[in-house]
C-alpha cells in the first residue's frame, strides 16, 4: 500500500483538530522511521530502543548475547526508562507568528512541527512538556510521559492564542521551570523582537545538563522575498504599515536578512545553543533527524 503524503493534510481545518494533528504527526513519523534500519522500540523496561558498547563495570546481565553472536562485539541494552529524556517545547505565541503563506500561518506550522516531534519523543518513552508565551498569556504543561498527556499536549497546541509581543526577559525567564535533569529544549519562534528580549530569554535556558535548539520558523516568501511588485506590509505586533516596491527593495532586504540570521546563529552558538532556520516548505523529516541527533547527545 502506498504511503500517505502528509502535505495534503497541511490545512488549518485539519491541523486545528486533535484527530487531524495526531494523524499528520503519525504519518510523518511512521514514514520517517520506516526509512531507518531499525525503528525505536518502546516499552516499560522490556523492549529496547538503543544499544551502547560494553564498558568496564557494566552489569554483565545486561549484555545482549544475540548481538554478540551476530557481531562479535559486546553491547549493553538500554531500556526506554533508563534512557528517558525530558523534552520541552517552548512556543512563541506573539502576534507575528500569525503571518501566513499559502493559507498556512506560522503558528499552524508550529502546531504540526511540535506534534510531530512530540509523537517521536512519545514513542521513545520521553517525558513531554509544552510552554507557550506572549506578553499577556502563558500556557504551562509540565512534562509527563504517557498517552493521555500526549493527547492533552495536542489539545493545548490547538488552543494556542497569538497576541501582542514576547514578554520582557525578567518575566519570561520565570515562566519556564528547570527540572535539573537531562532535558532537550526546542524553542520555536520567528525571532522578531524589539530589544533582544527573545535572544536574552533563549540564553537563559542553557545549562550544563541540557541541550537547547532554536527552530526559527520562516516562510518561503520571507526568505526569498518573492512578493509581487508592490505590496503593503503590516507589522502584526504594532500595526504599523509600509508600502514597498519589492523589486527595488529585494537586494537590500536579502542582504540585511543574511546579516541578521548570521548574527543570531553566531550569538547563540557562542552560548552553546543550536540554531536552525526552518522554512515552512522544509520536509518535516528534517526536524526528526535533528531531534534524533540532539537527543543522542544526552544519552
Domains of the chain, by residue range, sit at 9-34+82-298, 48-79
Is the pTM for the entire model greater than 0.75? yes
* Phi, psi values for residue 268, rounded to 5°: -70, -40
Burial of 151 (0-12, 13-18, 19+ CB in 10 A): middle
The reported pLDDT for the residue numbered 47 is 42
Q: For 20-43, how does the pLDDT look when each residue is reduced to its tens digit (9 = 90+)?
A: 999 999 999 988 887 654 444 433
β-pairing, 86-92 vs 183-189, is parallel
Q: For 253-269, how does the pLDDT look when each residue is reduced to its tens digit (9 = 90+)?
A: 999 999 999 999 999 99
**Which parts of the chain register pLDDT below 70?**
1-4, 35-52, 54-62, 76-83, 169-175, 177-180, 299
Q: Hey, what CATH class is 9-34+82-298 in?
A: alpha beta
* Phi, psi values for residue 216, rounded to 5°: -85, 105
Q: For 264-299, how does the pLDDT look when each residue is reduced to its tens digit (9 = 90+)?
A: 999 999 999 999 999 999 999 999 999 988 988 886
The reported pLDDT for the residue numbered 123 is 87
The reported pLDDT for the residue numbered 57 is 57
The reported pLDDT for the residue numbered 68 is 73
Amino acid at each position: 500500500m502506498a504511503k500517505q503524503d502528509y502535505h495534503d493534510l497541511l490545512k488549518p481545518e485539519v491541523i486545528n483538530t486533535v484527530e487531524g494533528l495526531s494523524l499528520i504527526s503519525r504519518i510523518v513519523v511512521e514514514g520517517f522511521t520506516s526509512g531507518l534500519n531499525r525503528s525505536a522500540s518502546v516499552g516499560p523496561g522490556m523492549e529496547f530502543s538503543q544499544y551502547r558498547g560494553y564498558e568496564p563495570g557494566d552489569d554483565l546481565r545486561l549484555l545482549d548475547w544475540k548481538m554478540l553472536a551476530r557481531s562479535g562485539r559486546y553491547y549493553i541494552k538500554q531500556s526506554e526508562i533508563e534512557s528517558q529524556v525530558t523534552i520541552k517545547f517552548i512556543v512563541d505565541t506573539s502576534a507575528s507568528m500569525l503571518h501566513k503563506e499559502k493559507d498556512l500561518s506560522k503558528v499552524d506550522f508550529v502546531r504540526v512541527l511540535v506534534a510531530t516531534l512530540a509523537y517521536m519523543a512519545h514513542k521513545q518513552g520521553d517525558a513531554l512538556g509544552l510552554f507557550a508565551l506572549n506578553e499577556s498569556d502563558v500556557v504551562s504543561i509540565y512534562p509527563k510521559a504517557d498517552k493521555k498527556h500526549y493527547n492533552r499536549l495536542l489539545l493545548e497546541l490547538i488552543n494556542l492564542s497569538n497576541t501582542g509581543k514576547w514578554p520582557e526577559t525578567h518575566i519570561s525567564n520565570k515562566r519556564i521551570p528547570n527540572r535539573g535533569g537531562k532535558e532537550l529544549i526546542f524553542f520555536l519562534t520567528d525571532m522578531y523582537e524589539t530589544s533582544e528580549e527573545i535572544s536574552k530569554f533563549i540564553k537563559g535556558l542553557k545549562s550544563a545538563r541540557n541541550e537547547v535548539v532554536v527552530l526559527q520558523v520562516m516562510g518561503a516568501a520571507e526568505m526569498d522575498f518573492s512578493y509581487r511588485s508592490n505590496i503593503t506590509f503590516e507589522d502584526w505586533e504594532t500595526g504599523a504599515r509600509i508600502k514597498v516596491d519589492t523589486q527595488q527593495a529585494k537586494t537590500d532586504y536579502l542582504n540585511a536578512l543574511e546579516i541578521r540570521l548570521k548574527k543570531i546563529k553566531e550569538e547563540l552558538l557562542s552560548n552553546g545553543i543550536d540554531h536552525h532556520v526552518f522554512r515552512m516548505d522544509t520536509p518535516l523529516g528534517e526536524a526528526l533527524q535533528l531531534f534524533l541527533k540532539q537527543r543522542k547527545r544526552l544519552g
